[in-house]
Amino acid sequence: MTTSGTASDVFDHLGIRPIINGHHWRTVLGGSIMPPEVVQAMTESSGYFINVDDLHMKAGEYLARITGAEAGMVTAGCAAAQVLQAAACMTGMDDTKIVQLPDTAGMRDEIIIQKGHRNHYDNCYRIAGAKLVEIDTTGDTNGDKLSAAITKNTAAVAFAWHARFYGIKMEEVIKIAHSSQVPVIVDAAAELPPLENLTKFTDMGADLVAFSGGKGIRGPQSTGILVGKKSLVDSAFRNAIRTSMDKTGIGRPMKVCKEEIVGLVKALELFLEKDHEGEWAEWRSMSEIITNMLKDIKGLNVYLNEGPVYPGPAAPTATIFFKDSWNGPSPSDISNLLMEGNPPIYAGTDPQPNALWIAPVALQRGEEIIIAERLRKIFTDTQ
């Protein structure tokens, strides 16, 4: 069978149905939708040969400029940036060590992480060969456990910004780590927007900060941003792209192509120029349409949540709380009904077991009405 090359032909050919994403800029749902200018920049750049090392260097300088960091580089997603964070903190600029990874013999190879910051991406540090040392700082904001855990084997302290409400705060983590000359590496994958986060962690003194390029920035999904201290970014670069020896480093399989580098830079230019307040208002308006269309249903408490809802995005989110008096299907059953419909709709169900939420960040205008109508029908048909 052949396809003519348009996306819908390819999806038809493969038997794939596009969905409505009321969840988040989630990798498994396709990240985000790139603005047409980004797609166009990628398409045009594919018509040229360029020196990719030069493109990487110049793009890295751009990232440093806009984040206020000493240096930066484009990576193959935030997860790849995390592999490189760990590698850089273990090897420094020593090419013998770089080609030796993931065998860490002779290197500091422990990365300390607070228990509440553990998440499935922390395995990226282990991929580089590092060992995770977990400290339980439940209900404990003083830094004693961190100070006690730092040894001569500590390569870095990891901090996941989405878990900042838990345990020792970032300012304190940085102070303690730096007093032992240990770098702090930050996972800020889904933390843009808000725009201020672009410079925030670097300003706070974090040594290496990683963001996703394909979430709120709306660049290519397989791009990421690594910024920080020049010596460490230089080391990440050697681990990813070029050693002086005739072997590649651990980051080489996480390659970024020229089209993706160009696409990420274009997406960042647009992100910096964007009317962020206008976007927030647009999101709120879509979420309000959903809450208004559902708020009269008995047994439910339907409201707009403007706070951060991990694992959801920081955006005005339509939240449906199922009261004890609700006698219809459970939130997870309803989520399944939404996914089985046509088109399939993805909503958020955790972390509260008796709640369902719809985030507007990945919705395209009009889809909020389809979601609200579908939910209304499910709520009224199944009661």
Ligand X SMILES: *Cc1c(COP(=O)(O)O)cnc(C)c1O
Q: Which of 246, 250, 222 is nearest to 236 (CA)?
A: 250
Residue nearest to ligand X (CB): 77
Alpha carbon 342 to its chain centroid, in Å, reads 28
Rule CB under 6 A: is residue 119 a binding residue for ligand X?
Answer: yes
Binder among 27, 231, 301, 330 for ligand X (CB under 6 A): 27
Crossing angle of helices 170-179/197-204, nearest 10°?
Answer: 40
**C-alpha neighbours within 13 Å on the C-beta side of residue 115:** 9
For ligand X, the closer of residues 85 and 137 by Cβ is: 85
Q: How far is CA 239 from CA 81, 212, 248, 297, 335, in A?
A: 11, 19, 7, 56, 42
For ligand X, the closer of residues 162 and 274 by Cβ is: 162
Is residue 185 classed as helix, strand or coil in its secondary structure? strand
* CA end-to-end distance (rounded Å), the chain: 46
Per-residue binding string, ligand X, 132-171, x by CB under 6 A, is: ----------------------------x-x---------
What span, in angstroms and rounded, lies between the C-alpha atoms of 178 and 181?
5
Rule CB under 6 A: is residue 189 a binding residue for ligand X?
Answer: yes
Q: Which of 167, 371, 365, 362 is nearest to 285 (CA)?
A: 365
The amino acid that residue 383 corresponds to is: Q
For ligand X, the closer of residues 187 and 259 by Cβ is: 187
For ligand X, the closer of residues 34 and 78 by Cβ is: 78
Rule CB under 6 A: is residue 121 a binding residue for ligand X?
Answer: yes
| CA angle, residues 78, 79, 80, in degrees to nearest 5 | 90
Rule CB under 6 A: is residue 29 a binding residue for ligand X?
Answer: no
Rule CB under 6 A: is residue 249 a binding residue for ligand X?
Answer: no
- Site residue total, ligand X (CB under 6 A): 14
Q: How far is the CB of 26 from ligand X (least distance, A)?
A: 8
Q: How far is the CB of 364 from ligand X (least distance, A)?
A: 21
Footprint of ligand X on 65-104 (CB under 6 A): 77-79
Rule CB under 6 A: is residue 264 a binding residue for ligand X?
Answer: no
Binder among 45, 212, 235, 305 for ligand X (CB under 6 A): 212
Residues that bind ligand X (CB under 6 A): 27, 77-79, 119, 121, 160, 162, 187, 189-190, 212, 214, 224
